[in-house]
Amino acid sequence: MPMFKCRYLKSEGSSPHLTIDAENEEQAYEKYLEQVGQEFFPVIVLKKGLRQAEYHFENHYQEKKAEIEKKKAEIEKKKAEIEKTLKQNEIIEKEIEEERIRNAIIENRRSLSLKGIEILEKKKNDGYFKLETNEKITFQEHFNNIISESEQGPLLSEEINFIERWLKFKHRELGQTLLTQAEAQKPLSQQGQSELANTIFSGIAMGNLVKANQLNEMREMNQTMDEIAEDVEDVNEGFGFE
């Protein structure tokens, strides 16, 4: 039976050298693995005799490599799935938090309107001149905020109710007109120092802005209608209609 010298092909470290009798080089390779165990290196099998021949075997090496690559791919896949899940959870948590904040803002808007409605109902017979200064400021600021919100989306029923009550509140228009006139008659150095007057001016400016936006929308609509009319006229002329 032929004799074979077998060893691992290592660039560093020691490798067991064994002389093995076997039917052929492949059998010698398999016996070598059984005796020394599998390592992550190719095996050199050298056949003794007059005609020495050297064989390299990497079957165990390639199988191990394929197994490692497979496990690596599985790990990467699992990692990607975990990252995807974490990202989805982050998105869900963010949406939940945003929804919580939106609901909190809506509830705060509702609460402020309900409190304002309650006070205005109690003092509806007393009128604007009987309100405390801080109440005048608070109600006008809330009114201004509601108008600002109306440009962003629909208002709450409680906010609409508050607007109606505040606009119809006894002596409100008269009182704010007088305050505005009094502020305008002050020396320039003293104007703009009254918080109450500033909130009233803000409300007036906001109302003017809303009106300006409405006018712009009407102008754009009229312009669009004019363009459509011109197109229709061109089509009629193309067909010979007069």
- Residue ranges per domain, the chain? 3-57, 91-223
Q: How far apart, in whole angstroms, are the C-alpha atoms of residue 53 and residue 45?
A: 8
pLDDT at 52: 77
**Residues 87-135: pLDDT tens digits?**
999 999 999 999 999 999 999 999 999 999 999 999 999 999 999 999 9
pLDDT at 229: 59
pLDDT one digit per residue (tens) for the chain, 242 residues: 789 999 998 877 778 889 999 999 999 999 999 999 888 889 999 988 767 788 999 888 787 788 888 999 999 999 999 999 999 999 999 999 999 999 999 999 999 999 999 999 999 999 999 999 999 999 999 999 998 888 888 999 999 999 999 999 999 889 888 888 888 888 888 877 788 888 887 766 555 545 555 556 666 666 666 666 565 555 455 545 45
* Predicted structure pTM score: 0.51
With beta carbons less than 8 A apart as the criterion, state whether 23 and 3 touch.
no
CB atoms near residue 131 (< 10 Å): 20
pLDDT at 239: 46
Structure tokens at 106: 């809506």
Order across the sheet with 3-8: list the strands.
Answer: 18-21, 3-8, 43-47, 53-57
Structure tokens at 201: 């001016």
pLDDT at 213: 55
Q: Which residues contact 32 (CB under 8 A, 6 or more apart)?
A: 6, 18, 20, 43, 45
